[in-house]
């Protein structure tokens, strides 16, 4: 019989393989942690071990001050940062850190990634912000993450001249944010080689974010229907619904899809 802690160790261990799979880390860089729901505990990888060697049994259990509660190995050198986020963001269930190349390049020049493509509106709902430069070893990085993301929709922050930290409702969501952060960092960088890049209008960003966060994928039928409601409402508000055309008569619609 596996316990919730055993399952979290297995999940956090498996998610480290996703960092390799998506090209987000080199050698032993980066790390993933997960909060054990309903507890003051987190699970994080051991420091400096090859991703190929990681096993669920090696995952380290720490309290939210970063103190090791279970495990023989030393915890990730970013444990203090992860723990600080969990202490100050009770809504966060997972934290990820990577040095993914395109996003880390944006952090190296200290420039936020502008919300210039719909995929950024979907996942980030805004630009991806830059946090302060902070040396590893105390709460500085954690403080920079929390301060930068405070009141911000983005689940990702580019810590200046260091790399990416992402947060999520659970560890898997934080890994997804790290994957999407690198994807859009690359795309927007490439776009800038082709020509000027402009930020999407905020109202479009808001609509993209709302749809993606609440309707995209296998959303419950009522949410999916509600997402269509505004268009239907506009149609019915704009003109009385056309009488059903006689079966044999063709119906011509205008450019907006309304009956001509
Ligand atoms: O950024 C750093 C070191 O500067 C760390 O995040 C390493 O990238 C991963 O450290 P461990 O998790 O293996 O301790």
| DSSP string of 88-130, one letter each residue | H-TT--EEEEE--HHHHHHHHHT--B---SHHHHHHTSS-B-E
Task: Supply the CATH number for residue 80's domain.
Answer: 3.40.225.10
pTM, whole model, 2 decimals? 0.86
User: Any idea what DSSP says for residue 49?
Assistant: -
- 44 CA: nearest ligand 1 atom: 12
**CB 126 within 8 Å of CB 177:** no
pLDDT digits (tens, 9 = 90+) for 105-153: 999 999 999 999 999 999 999 999 999 999 998 999 999 999 999 999 9
Give 210 Cα–ligand 1 centroid separation in angstroms: 34
| Residue with CA nearest ligand 1 atom 2 | 29
The share of the chain scoring above pLDDT 70, in percent, equals: 86
d(CA 195, CA 32): 36
Evaluate whether residue 76 is within a structural domain. Answer: yes
Q: Is 143 exposed, middle or buried (0-12, 13-18, 19+ CB in 10 A)?
A: middle
Atom of ligand 1 nearest to the CA of 49: 13
Q: Assess whether the C-beta atom of 33 lies below 6 angstroms from ligand 1.
A: no
Question: Residue 221 pLDDT more than 70?
Answer: yes
255 lies in a domain?
no
Whether residue 202 is contained in a domain is answered as yes
> Residue 219 pLDDT > 90, yes or no?
no
Ligand 1 atom closest to residue 163's alpha carbon, by position in its atom list: 1
pLDDT in tens, 161-216: 999 999 999 999 999 999 999 999 999 999 999 999 999 999 999 999 999 999 99
Asked whether the predicted pLDDT for residue 247 surpasses 60, the reply is no
Q: Are 158 and 130 in contact (CB under 8 A)?
A: yes
Q: Give the pLDDT of residue 242.
A: 43
Mean pLDDT of 35-58: 98
pLDDT band of 91, cuts 50, 70, 90: very high
Protein residue with its CA nearest to atom 8 in ligand 1: 29
Total domains present in the chain: 1
Does the structure show a pLDDT above 60 at 252? no
User: How deeply is 63 buried, as exposed, middle or buried, from its count of CB atoms within 10 A (0-12, 13-18, 19+)?
Assistant: middle
The predicted model gives 52-64 an average pLDDT of: 98
Nearest CA owner, ligand 1 atom 4: 136
Ligand 1 pocket: which of 30, 44, 108, 164 to mutate (most atoms within 8 A of CB):
30
Cβ proximity of 97 and 168 under 8 Å:
no
50 band by pLDDT with thresholds 50, 70 and 90:
very high
Residue 225 lies in a domain: no
- Is there a domain that residue 237 lies in? no
CA of residue 36 to ligand 1 center, whole Å: 22
Can you say how many angstroms the Cα of residue 94 is from the centroid of all Cα atoms in its chain?
A: 10
Task: Say if 247 falls within a structural domain.
Answer: no
CB atoms within 10 A of CB 190: 11
- Is residue 226 situated within a structural domain? no
Confidence at residue 96, expressed as pLDDT on a 0 to 100 scale: 99
Question: Is any ligand 1 atom within 6 A of the Cβ of residue 29?
Answer: yes
For 11-29, write each residue's pLDDT tens digit. 999 999 999 999 999 999 9
CA of 225 from ligand 1 middle (Å) equals: 45
In a domain, 84, yes or no: yes
More confident residue, 224 or 23: 23
Query: What residue numbers bound the domain in which 139 lies?
Result: 4-214
Give the model's confidence band at 222: pLDDT under 50 very low, under 70 low, under 90 confident, else very high: confident
Tell me the best of 25, 31, 163, 178 to mutate to test the pocket of ligand 1, counting ligand atoms within 8 Å of each CB and taking the most.
31
Enter the ipTM: 0.95
58 C-beta closer than 6 A to ligand 1: no
């Amino acid at each position: 019989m596996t316990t919730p802690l055993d399952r979290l160790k297995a999940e956090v261990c498996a998610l480290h393989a996703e960092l390799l799979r998506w090209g987000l880390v080199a050698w032993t860089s980066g790390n993933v942690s997960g909060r054990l729901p309903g507890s003051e505990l987190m699970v994080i990888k051991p420091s400096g071990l090859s991703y190929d060697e990681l096993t669920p049994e090696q995952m380290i259990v720490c309290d939210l001050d970063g103190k090791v509660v279970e495990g023989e190995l030393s915890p990730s050198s970013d444990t203090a940062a992860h723990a600080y986020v969990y202490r100050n963001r009770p809504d966060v269930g997972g934290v990820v850190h990577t040095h993914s190349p395109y996003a880390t390049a944006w952090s190296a020049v200290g420039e936020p990634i502008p919300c210039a493509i719909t995929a950024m509106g979907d996942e980030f709902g805004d630009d991806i912000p830059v946090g302060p430069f902070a040396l590893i070893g105390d709460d500085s990085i954690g403080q920079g993450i929390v301060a930068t993301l405070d009141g911000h929709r983005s689940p990702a922050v580019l810590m200046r001249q260091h790399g990416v930290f992402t947060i999520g409702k659970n560890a898997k969501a934080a890994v997804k944010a790290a994957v999407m952060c690198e994807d859009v960092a690359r795309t927007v960088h490439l776009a800038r080689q082709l020509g000027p890049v402009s930020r999407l209008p905020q109202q479009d960003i808001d609509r993209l974010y709302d749809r993606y966060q609440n309707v995209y994928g296998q959303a419950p039928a009522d949410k999916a229907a509600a997402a269509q409601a505004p268009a239907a409402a506009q149609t019915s508000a704009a003109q009385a619904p056309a009488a059903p055309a006689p079966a044999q008569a063709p119906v011509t619609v205008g450019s907006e899809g309304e009956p001509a």
